Structure 1
Amino acid sequence: MSKKSSPRIGFLHIPKTAGVSVAQAFVHELGADQCALFSDKMIEETFLRSRFVSGHIYLGDVARDAFLFTFLRDPIRQIASHLMWIDHYNLPKFQQELEGFPENVKAGIQEIANIDLSSAKSIDNYLQRHPLDSPLRIANLQSEMLAFKRQEVISMSNRELADLAIRRLGELDFFGLCETLQADMSSLFRMLEFNSSPKLFHLNSSLSERVVDHRLPDVRRVLSNYVQADQWLYEYAVNAKSRPFPRAKNPLFLIRMLYRRICQRRK
C-alpha cells in the first residue's frame, strides 16, 4: 500500500503553525471518532483506533505506514507567537493547566511572567536561559522537530540543523505553509482525494494579555538569533512550493536540485 493511498493520515503539529485549525478541518471532514488530536505517539497502535492522528510529535519518533504531513510558519512570527502562548499560562484562569506541567517546564513558564515582552534585551535574556537542553523547547523548534527524535536532540550549528531538517522534510508526503493555509489545505484535501473543500477555523491563537511585537527592529533582530536554522528551512520550503516544476520530472530529483541551489547561495 503506497503512502498516498493509505487511509491513515499523520499530522506533525509544530506549535504555533495553525495546527489546531488544520486538525479541526480533518475532524469536520472525517468525524471526531476518526481523529486523535494532541496525541503523544504516532505508531501502529495509534492508528488502530483513528484514521487521523496529530500531535506535537518529532518526525524521528514516527513509526507508521501513513500519509504524513506538516505545516511550517515564518520563523519570526512562530517564535513570537510561541512566547506569547507560553505566557498565557500565567493568567489566573489557566492556573489549573499550569499546575499540570512537569516542574521544570512550569518553572520556565512562570519565569516568563517576569520578562518584559516589549523589550528586546529582556526577551534575549530569557531565551539565553533556555538553551538546547532546556525542557521548554523554543529556539529553532520547527527544524528540531523535523530533524530529531524528542529525546535525542544533539547540538549542531544552525547550518547543519537546517540542512538535516531540509533532508527530513523530503521524507514527508506533503508540507504546507501557515501563510498560505487555505490554498495549501485545499491542495492537501485534493491529494487525499477528499470530495469537499477544507473548512478552516481561526483557533488556538495566543491568549496572552501581552504582545511580542516582532515588527520592532530590535525585537526582530533578537528573535532572528534563535531561529536561524528555521529561517533557512522556511526559505527552502517557500522556494520549493513556489517553483513551477514540470509534471514529467521526478519530484524528488527536483527537490534535491532546489536544495543544492539554496546551499550554493549560502556560500
Structure 2
Amino acid sequence: MKNKTFFIHIGKTAGSSFNAFLKENFRGEEHCENYLERGNVFTRLDYLKSLDYISGHITLDVFEKSFPKKDYFLMTFLRFPVNQLISNINWLIHIYDISPKFFANHPKHIQEISLELRSLNLYDPDSFINALNKFQNLFKNNQSRYFGLPPFLGDVETIIGKIKTLDLVGLTEDYQGAIDNFIRLNELNIKPKLHQENRNLSYRINKDILDNQIIADFIQEYNQVDILVYEYFLRRNQTNSSYTATKIDPCTQLINLREVHQKSENLENLLKKTQEELAQADFQVHRTQCYFQQYKAQAYKALALLQTSQVQVHRSVTLLQTSQAQLHQIQDELAQTQAQLQQAQKERDQYQSRLNLMQWELDRSQFQLAIASQTLESSQVQYKLLVWDAWYAYTKGDLAGMSQCLHASVKCTPFSKTKTISSWLNSFAEFSVNKGESLDVQSLSNTYEWKQVIDRIFGYPKMTAN
C-alpha cells in the first residue's frame, strides 16, 4: 500500500466484511477501540502506528488526536440509513441468541438495551417510537455521529465537509465497487474474495415495518441528518464529480471587486438554501392539507354513522355514544390540523419574504459588480446605484422609495437637470429590458411621486396628492 489504512467502522455497514478483506491481505488491528482509555487516549500507540491497517468503532476526531493524518489512507462505509437502523436494532436483539458468553462480553448497558428490545412488540408504533427515543444516543443519526462533535451539535454541511476529507467513502449497496476503488487508489495487485461477515441470520423486524406510515414518517424525521448525508455521497459517487472553489481576480478600484463578488456568491448560496427551505415548507403545507382532507372525510363518515344510529336509537344507544366520542376526537384533531396548516402557511410567507429580500440583495450586488468594472468616479457609481434602487422600488410598487432614491441621485448626477431626467427614463427602460419586461413610460410619468420629484428639480410649487 502507498499509505497505511485507517478504517472508521460504522456498525452494520459491511464493516466486518471489509475488516475480513484487510485481515486477509495485511497486518493490522480491527478493534482499536479496545486500546482506548479515559479521555480517548490510546495505550500501545507505537504498536498501533506500526501496523499496516487500523480499524475500529471510533470517531474521526478521536483518530486525528493521536495519529498523523498524512500517513494514513482514511476510509469508511455509509449505508442507506433506514436499512442501517433496522439492521442495527436486529443486531442488538440478536446478540442474546449467539451464545451466553458472547452476550456477557458486551457492556452492561448494551445487555439491558438488548433485553428490553426483545421484550417489545416493535411493530406497534408507540412501542417502536418510545424505544428509539429512549435509546437515541445509540440509534439516532448513528452514522453521522462518527463525524460530529459530542453531543452532536454539528449541522449537515459540517458533517459532509468532515467526511469529504476522507480518501474514500464507500457505500454498502456498492460494496464491490468500493473494494475496487480501494485497490485502485492504493495501487494494489490483489484479487479480493467476497466476504459476508457478521450478517444477521434472523430478523425480529423487517422492512415491512415501513408499511406502517406512522413508523415510516418517524424514521424519516429521526434519521434526517443521516439521510441527507447519505444522499449527498450517493449522488457524488454516481457522478464521480469533484468540487473546486471559484477563483476571483483582484482589482483595485473605488469598490473592492473581491468583496462584491464574494458577497454575491454568499447571497446565491443563501438564496439556494432558502429556496430549499421554501420547498420543504411547501411539502409540509401539502402534507398537512392531505391530513386535513383525511380528517374531514373521517368526520363526514362519523357524522353519517351518528345519523344512522339516531334512527336506531332504541337498539344502539351504546354505538351512538361511541360515535359521538369519535366525532369529538376527530373535530379536535381537525382543529389542530387547521392550526398546523395556518402555521405552515405563515412560515411559508416568512420564507418568501426572506427570499425576496435576498433576491434584491443579489440583483443589486450583480449590478454593483457590473458598474464597478467601469472606470467611474465615486459620485457616478453612487448615482447609478441610486437610479437602480429607484427602478427596483418602482417595480415593487414602492413609489415613495423610488421618489427618495431619485431625489438623492440629483446630488451626485453628472448631468444637467434635463439630461438627468432623460437618464432616469433611459436607465429604467434598460433595467426593465434586462429583466425581460417593458417600461410603461406614460404610466410612470403620471404618478404623483414622479411629478413631485420633477417639480423639486425645477423648483416648481409643491404638488398635493389628488
Change (3 A) 1:125 1:61: same
Instruction: Please give the alpha-carbon distance, in whole angstroms, between the structure 1 residues aligned to 2:161 and 2:6.
Output: 19
Q: Among residues 128, 131, 135, which one is paired with 2:133 in the alignment?
A: 128
Q: Percent identity?
A: 24
Instruction: Please give the alpha-carbon distance, in whole angstroms, between the structure 1 residues aligned to 2:145 and 2:100.
Output: 29
Partner of 1:146: 147
Shift of 1:68: 0.7
Code of the aligned partner of 1:79: L
What's the Cα RMSD here? 2.6
Output aligned runs, 1:186-197, within 5 Å. Answer: 186-197=180-191
Code of the aligned partner of 1:224: Q
Output aligned runs, 1:86-165, within 5 Å. Answer: 86-91=92-97, 93-132=98-137, 137-148=138-149, 153-156=150-153, 160-165=154-159
Task: Tell whether 2:171 aligns with 1:180.
Answer: no
Partner of 1:253: 244
| Secondary structure, aligned partner of 1:54 | strand
Instruction: Please give the alpha-carbon distance, in whole angstroms, between the structure 2 residues aligned to 1:154 and 1:209.
Output: 31
Q: After superposition, what is the alpha-carbon deviation per residue over 1:191-231, rounded to whole angstroms, capped at 9, x for unaligned?
A: 01111233221111114452232563324333223211000
Structure 1: which 4+ aligned runs deviate by more than 6 Å?
none
| 2:9/2:57 contact within 8 Å kept | yes
Q: After superposition, what is the alpha-carbon deviation per residue over 1:31-76, rounded to whole angstroms, capped at 9, x for unaligned?
A: xxx0211220596535334211111111110032311100100000
| 2:10/2:146 contact within 8 Å kept | yes
| Secondary structure, aligned partner of 2:74 | strand
| 1:11/1:69 contact within 8 Å kept | yes
Partner of 1:35: 28
| Secondary structure, aligned partner of 2:188 | coil
| 2:78/2:170 contact within 8 Å kept | yes
Instruction: Please give the alpha-carbon distance, in whole angstroms, between the structure 2 residues aligned to 1:263 and 1:174.
Output: 27
Code of the aligned partner of 2:92: I
Partner of 1:60: 61
Question: Matched residue pairs, number?
Answer: 239
Shift of 1:184: 1.6
| 1:70/1:174 contact within 8 Å kept | yes
Code of the aligned partner of 1:181: Y
Instruction: Please give the alpha-carbon distance, in whole angstroms, between the structure 1 residues aligned to 2:179 and 2:20.
Output: 12
Shift of 1:265: 6.6
Partner of 1:206: 200
Instruction: Please give the alpha-carbon distance, in whole angstroms, between the structure 1 residues aligned to 2:96 and 2:202.
Output: 9
Shift of 1:107: 1.5
Instruction: Please give the alpha-carbon distance, in whole angstroms, between the structure 2 residues aligned to 1:5 and 1:85.
Output: 35
| 1:46/1:53 contact within 8 Å kept | no
| Secondary structure, aligned partner of 1:154 | coil
| 1:143/1:165 contact within 8 Å kept | yes
Task: State which structure, 1 or 2, has the greater radius of gyration over its C-alpha atoms.
Answer: 2
Code of the aligned partner of 2:159: A
| Secondary structure, aligned partner of 1:67 | strand
| Secondary structure, aligned partner of 2:91 | helix
Instruction: Please give the alpha-carbon distance, in whole angstroms, between the structure 2 residues aligned to 1:26 and 1:108.
Output: 31
Deviates more, 1:167-176 or 1:10-19: 167-176
Shift of 1:263: 5.3
| 1:47/1:53 contact within 8 Å kept | yes
| Secondary structure, aligned partner of 2:244 | helix
Partner of 1:248: none
Query: Taking structure 2 as the reference length, what is the TM-score of the superposition?
Result: 0.47
Change (3 A) 1:214 1:192: farther
Instruction: Please give the alpha-carbon distance, in whole angstroms, between the structure 1 residues aligned to 2:276 and 2:197.
Output: 36
Partner of 1:50: 51
Q: After superposition, what is the alpha-carbon deviation per residue over 1:121-162, rounded to whole angstroms, capped at 9, x for unaligned?
A: 321121011234xxxx111011001223xxxx1254xxx532
Partner of 2:164: 170
| 1:85/1:208 contact within 8 Å kept | no
Code of the aligned partner of 2:82: I
Change (3 A) 1:120 1:240: same
Code of the aligned partner of 1:203: E
Q: Among residues 231, 234, 238, which one is paired with 1:238 in the alignment?
A: 234
Change (3 A) 1:176 1:265: farther
Code of the aligned partner of 2:105: G
Change (3 A) 1:191 1:265: farther
Change (3 A) 1:111 1:200: same
Instruction: Please give the alpha-carbon distance, in whole angstroms, between the structure 2 residues aligned to 1:237 and 1:253.
Output: 16
Mind listing any 5+ residue stretches in structure 2 that lack a counterpart? Answer: 37-41, 246-264, 278-466
Change (3 A) 1:163 1:244: closer
Change (3 A) 1:71 1:46: farther
